[in-house]
Structure 1
């Protein structure tokens, strides 16, 4: 262990790329322990955006490789553009016209003199046509040969190859007859529940679990639409769904000299909508013989398709630790940092070296597994509203401090916007420690110190998940979130009285600070109208501040002004004495430092749109005020169901005049790489449909006029 920690210090001792807390902390760059000469690539184009583009730039810089960024109109001021040595515009915001524009990216590579293209993940990373185009144009594709992408990209083909290679596969139908009748019949033959999967799918796209025959038609229709949108192919396969399975995947690597290794496994079981949100390495509870067996099976899979570069072989594991091949992702995975943390490697550096013709830096016998690592994906989404993704400005962004055991992988800074055009992931928080228990505690502490204001995030949900007793005991499976939904997605409880005390004091002190600054700007710093101190002759000023509590009920807080910095606060029957001040005051944030009933307290405060955001060691909380009636929703008996986010209308399920029951599908909306079905809130009649298939609608735009049944 001492040798590993010395190696880790070497990994992080040089090439430090660490930005200020308000601009996003960066992991200290890794240096490959094996040494060796740099890859014979002098310039690489990164055909991607966001955190993975930034990640590739850092590793390329260590090797002395120049970097070329590409960007859409939505990303012209993005972090990856600023970090790269060169940057080129490739088109409008829509990915089909920019990051998926194969020829445009090739043209930029040739114009810039880049010998290689790193595709990152997503977009063109598993596109056989793009890999072929790179080869035809004499540009190195930092990834596997197109034949491997093709064979592994079509699930029906990959199953046959894996079976021949001795890799366990799961029962299913992979035939050419794609009629609804045949797929339904095969599902009944296999036995429900079944899994529908797009044969060219990945990342949970075009995938649906069908529990009963009654759900089949709607699930198939939805999966096909999503697959066609994501992969331009709606061919499906059907597999037996293993109930309460674990999702265990193995990191493999191959070079152009026929060498292969596995860098152990990751557990990615905890998911929502088939998207991973917490990953860990190694997979907890695996005996060494199972670890070796699943690793060797993954290497057989890679050999079977002459794989080159970084790849991930994904397995379904049942309760008896039997594992079955699910798919191979022929690219770097989002969760690759946890593998790097437990093996002290830089997989992007390996990619660049192998693409340049170097052999693998380490052999299987040289790879060691040390400690435990977690990755939590921080998304702009609302867990309290079915994980609905959001978009908007990052008004306040303050991550935990990065160090050799805490990594912040991100592509955004404070003031940037999360766009509706791309994935809503804000960052990846990665931690390492000597064992799973201490690593999990480090993850929770880091989550509590990750402060974001401006849009909804899943940070509180991740913290709740990480402290759930079953997660602590590593009793994980892909149905973990639905099984524990009541505990993980419990409704907001009553606001703590001390929290309301701090929120009211923070509002008053911010008002005073703002008034004093405005007085200075007006040239009259002694104006009594700017002081706002609450001083009165022969009486104390009392002020009522109203907040919104549980179930939208209002809570009144009475604040009585005392001498400078002293307040008496009454919340219901409780009374608090506060003495203190704001420190480190910025435009919309500060630290509220003082004592509450004689007990020292320090809380970070961010003010935004009339809400007070409080961040303390126990986590963050938002305290809001009631919306005036004239700004609220119409009280009309007829309501128009509204778009929960900006997106494209992909399907209409109803026509005007239709009578629907609560929960019936009305229409489907695609946004941020996912499709969402908008359902009737109550039984009623559709009076009018206000949109058409293909329309792009803004958030809160009316979709249908719906008369509720009285």
Structure 2
């Protein structure tokens, strides 16, 4: 068994690996950037080494510094977690060449499966079903356009070296292809240093089904059943569950056997995930599920597999890397109940899910479920890394039970002043179509109006805020200056400010209790500031019609598509900014002229900075 382990990652996955390592009696070493020095994963490690500045390219992705830290601290092995260097074959080779144990996939498998075109070709040769598309080496724009036209729209453009939804675009019409290809290439080059793409036929009612596989150094390969990761936004997973709803025994056998066959085809060792795309227009069927890609690492959503199998997948990784055989044979594995995981992000659904950064001045996670988090109260959500705050994981006897537990947990999240998607998650988990299992990758887009919380406070929020500012209990009508109506409840009218806007609220006795922190209400996953109205405060601003194009988040300008003096049409793209590994396109709010241009490609910007100004047509 490995006796000391360096974790080449940060945040919740670093803490997750440490938890298992401590249970196994393994000494842990953390590496961190200079802005992460006070984070929980650093404090919880037995030893920690700073390896560079905030930018991941200068710290967590610096292979030589990670290996040097391992050697200097006497680590016996390196666990890469997921992201960063976890699927870097060169790093895997370098770790082994340094005399260290690599707790990850073989470099050869990473190379083969890391390039989507090569992976699909290997799978076709192994007899694994693959979705129709274009995998050719000719990357000329004209050739790609011809192939897309031949496949038929909609098509999916995917980065050859992609993953995590980056470098992926859906194209609905032929006249949209050129712009989507350019954006996809740009994002792929920035994320992976490789702008090559492949094309796939886009499935109209797609389900994202993936199978957890595990191999050891003795030739054994097993699966730990499937997960459904269909609930996505911009190709990023939001809610995952295991097993997959609507999966019958025969279809499960076929897809899981295909996953094992795929792993064997590349002599796989360690934890891996075989991802499939399913045409669910007529339910899950064995002949309508195709190989999509393989992730040669532990997945973010691995806790749902742990919940239904009762296994610790990180322990499996460590034991396999130590040379031990797989802990269980296939016939010893079975499914127990249902599990769901929701990704709690620092983002604001009401502003298009833009990232939210800052200090977590107030943070309370719900009890009664598993919470994997990389932060604690008082920590900073940095613009340098992924905005995930925590993973909320429920387990129940049935799918309905798991969904109910997770919805209650999302509703109980308390975070301020950083904005989160907790209310969005709760709304999703109680949506009738979700509860019926009618889920595909278009679910969120299709039900956006039901899922995204309103920007204006509802009656319950206003009632709670009004009660909170009262100098004495609202129910004491004999001491309070209330209105009195025969055969009707007593009431009073209260002035209150909620979310920087003033309201006059008529409140009655009673009302549901809510959780509060000083100046903040927490209701169903939403957080609202409140207080007494400020003198002369007229409420929220007039809107976006003044022509100022403001940076909605901190980040980097990666494209400016207009020049000063240009005429623009409403909805026309003006600039593209990148933050937390995602692109955001800023568009013209009306027809007009670019009267002032401050944005420059490559420039770092802060939230709220003026990028350009438009003058409207008169």
Report the equivalent of 2:567.
659
Unaligned runs of 5+ in 2: 473-478, 482-491
DSSP 3-state at the match of 1:228? helix
Q: Which residue is equivalent to 1:576?
A: 508
Are positions 1:504 and 2:466 aligned together?
yes
Q: Aligned partners of 1:436, 1:353: CA distance in 2, in Å?
A: 32
Match of 1:350 among 275, 291, 316: 316
Q: Quickly say closer, same or farther: Cα 1:66–1:635, change in 2 above 3 A.
A: closer
Corresponding residue for residue 524 of structure 1: none
Q: Which moved more, 1:151-160 or 1:620-629?
A: 620-629
Does 2:436 match 1:488? no
Helix, strand or coil at the partner of 1:207 = strand
Give the CA RMSD over aligned residues: 2.3
Residues 424-474 of structure 1 show CA distances to partners (whole Å, capped at 9, x for unaligned) of 000000000111111111111111222112111111111111111110000
Match of 1:280 in 2: 241
TM-score, normalising length from structure 1?
Answer: 0.81
Aligned residue number for residue 340 of structure 1? 306
CA contact (8 A) 1:453 1:613 kept: no
Deviations along 1:247-266, one digit per CA (max 9) or x if unpaired, are 00000000000000000000
Aligned with 2:426 (options 440, 459, 463): 463
Please say if residues 501 and 538 of structure 2, whose CA atoms lie closer than 8 Å, have aligned partners that are also in contact. no
| 1:240-251 aligned within 5 A | 240-251=201-212
**1:426 equivalent in alignment to 2:426:** no
Q: Does 1:80 align with 2:41?
A: yes
1:198-597 to 2 correspondences below 5 Å: 198-319=159-280, 320=282, 321=285, 322-402=288-368, 406-489=369-452, 491-492=454-455, 495-496=458-459, 499-508=461-470, 545-548=495-498, 554-557=502-505, 571=506, 575-577=507-509, 596=510
Cα distance in 2 between the residues matched to 1:114 and 1:107 = 10
Contact 1:637-1:707 at 8 Å conserved across structures: no
Offset at residue 688 of structure 1 (A): 2.2
Q: Is structure 2 residue 554 aligned with structure 1 residue 646?
A: yes
Superposed CA offset, 1:611-639 (max 9, x none): x3134xx5545254678669986999854
Q: Which stretch of the first structure deviates more once superposed, 638-647 or 407-416?
A: 638-647
Q: For residue 186 of structure 1, what is the aligned residue in structure 2?
A: 147
Aligned length: 596
Alignment partner of 2:65: what SS?
A: helix
Residue 246 of structure 1 aligns to a residue whose secondary structure is strand
SS in 2 for 1:285: coil
Give the corresponding residue for 1:34. Answer: none
Q: Distance in 1 between matches of 2:124 and 2:309?
A: 30
Q: Aligned residue for 2:11?
A: 50
Distance 1:341 1:544, change over 3 A: closer
Match of 1:166 in 2: 127
- Measured after TM superposition, the shift of residue 139 of structure 1 is 1.5
| SS of structure 2 residue aligned to 1:51 | helix
Post-superposition CA distance 1:203-260 (Å, at most 9, x none): 0010000010111111111111111111111111111111111000000000000000
Gaps of 5+ in 1: 1-38, 511-533, 537-541, 558-570, 578-595
- Say whether the 8 Å CA contact 1:68–1:86 is kept in structure 2: yes
Partners in 1 of 2:80 and 2:66 — Cα distance?
10
Single out whichever of 501-510 and 71-80 deviates more from structure 2.
Answer: 501-510
Alpha-carbon distance between aligned partners in 2 of 1:131 and 1:643, rounded to the nearest angstrom: 39
